[in-house]
Amino acid sequence: MPRIVRFYTFGGPEILKIEDAPSQQPGPGEVCLRVEAAGVNRDQFTFMSGQHFSGHGFVQPKLPSRLGYEVAGIIEAVGEGVDRSWIGKRVATVPGFDQNRYGTLGEEAVVPVGVVAEYPSNLTTAQAASFWMPYLTAYGALVSITHIEKGDLASILAAASSVGLAAIQFVRDAGATAIAVTRTPAKKQELLSLGADHVIVTAEEDYESRIREITNGSGVRVTFDPIGGPLLEQLAAASAPGGIIIEYGRLSGQPTPFPVVPVIGKGLTLRGYTLREVFDNPQTTAAAKHYVYDRVADGRFIPRIATTFPLEQTVDAYRYLESNQQIGRVVITVP
């Protein structure tokens, strides 16, 4: 019997249980994976706490519930209507499906065939389990919405996260200047080594003053922010006239005042965004997957793994992510 991870009540990582469960048979249009690695995501904290927000509103897990939507593994069985040539292929899941129905964390996962894709052969299994979400998230914001281009100045908040590191690579690939923003000085040198042109440490430096110094007073055209809260006022003040601020998270957990004066005075665009936008349009989805795959395959984009934990230490993996020590992805490996 495969082991799976699920929870029976709402709360933090301590609610997660590793249990034996009957093997699942894929239904019509589904495949069954033998999981080899799973990406750990911060939004799974809101899912297990019962307060998860997706692109279509709040999602209430149905207890007992599995979780997770990023895994890599080998297809072992296919359901009715699925090409049997998928069997034996190494694939990774592309986010965008309901983890309430298709939770993936464990030794086995059943998912729709439309969300699996073969991954570039130069990736490790851990990288394969954790590259689609951050790179597709960055694509939607920086390519589809802001059209980042050579000469742009871009500020990337929570830059040590997997999405932040992906965004740095997107900005550099476009020939733009990547300004990484982090709270702690311990991450500064590594962010510089990973491609950031500049790093602002908000625990030691004033964000607005540093942006003006770096940009010679012009401000940044693109701001990519998962934090929200009172910091938004500084982000607006440091934006260039006609700039755009992408808000894709609410990590601060605090009320977010609307910066009406700089928004009006500079003609700023304040834009909400979730990864769901990429998947709501099939043409955008195809373009995004092609764009990311090619750059990962030829080495322009390199997914960074912060650390790995075995399945038995799933709770420790989530607690480590909760500690905010990591630079890159936290991955659970499955023997």
Structure confidence by residue, pLDDT tens digits, 51-60: 776 655 667 7
Rounded to whole angstroms, how far apart are CA atoms 200 and 229?
18
Print burial letters for 126-164: b (CB count within 10 Å at least 16), e (below 16).
Answer: bbbbbbbbbbbbbbbbbbbbbebeeebbbbbbbbbbbbb
Q: Cα(38)–Cα(309) distance, rounded to whole angstroms?
A: 10
Give pLDDT, residue 53.
66
DSSP state for residue 106 in the 8-state scheme: B
- Show me where the domains of the chain are located: 3-131+303-333, 133-277
Asked if domains 3-131+303-333 and 133-277 share a fold, the reply is: no
Superfamily name and number for 133-277: NAD(P)-binding Rossmann-like Domain (3.40.50.720)
Please say if the pLDDT value at position 204 is more than 60.
Answer: yes
The 10s digit of each residue's pLDDT in 262-314 is: 999 999 999 999 999 999 889 999 999 999 999 999 999 999 999 999 999 99
Average of per-residue pLDDT across 179-189 = 96
For the segment 80-116, what is each residue's pLDDT rounded down to a tens digit? Answer: 999 999 999 999 999 878 888 899 999 999 999 999 9
Average pLDDT for 130-137: 96
Q: What is the pLDDT of residue 58?
A: 67
3-131+303-333 belongs to which homologous superfamily? Medium-chain alcohol dehydrogenases, catalytic domain (3.90.180.10)
Q: Long-range pairs for 119-122 at CB < 8 Å and ≥24 separation?
A: 119/72, 119/90, 119/91, 119/92, 119/296, 120/293, 120/296, 120/297, 121/297, 122/296, 122/297, 122/299
Please say if the pLDDT value at position 253 is more than 90.
Answer: no
Mean pLDDT to the nearest integer, 34-59: 83
Mean pLDDT in residue range 161-189: 97
| Residue 180 confidence class, pLDDT cut points 50, 70, 90 | very high
Query: pLDDT at position 304, please?
Result: 97
pTM: 0.94
Is pLDDT above 80 for 138? yes
* Mean predicted confidence (pLDDT) in 139-163: 97
> Strand ranges (DSSP E) for the chain?
3-7, 17-20, 30-40, 52-54, 57-59, 65-66, 71-78, 90-93, 108-112, 116-118, 153-156, 177-182, 198-201, 220-225, 239-247, 269-272, 305-310, 329-333
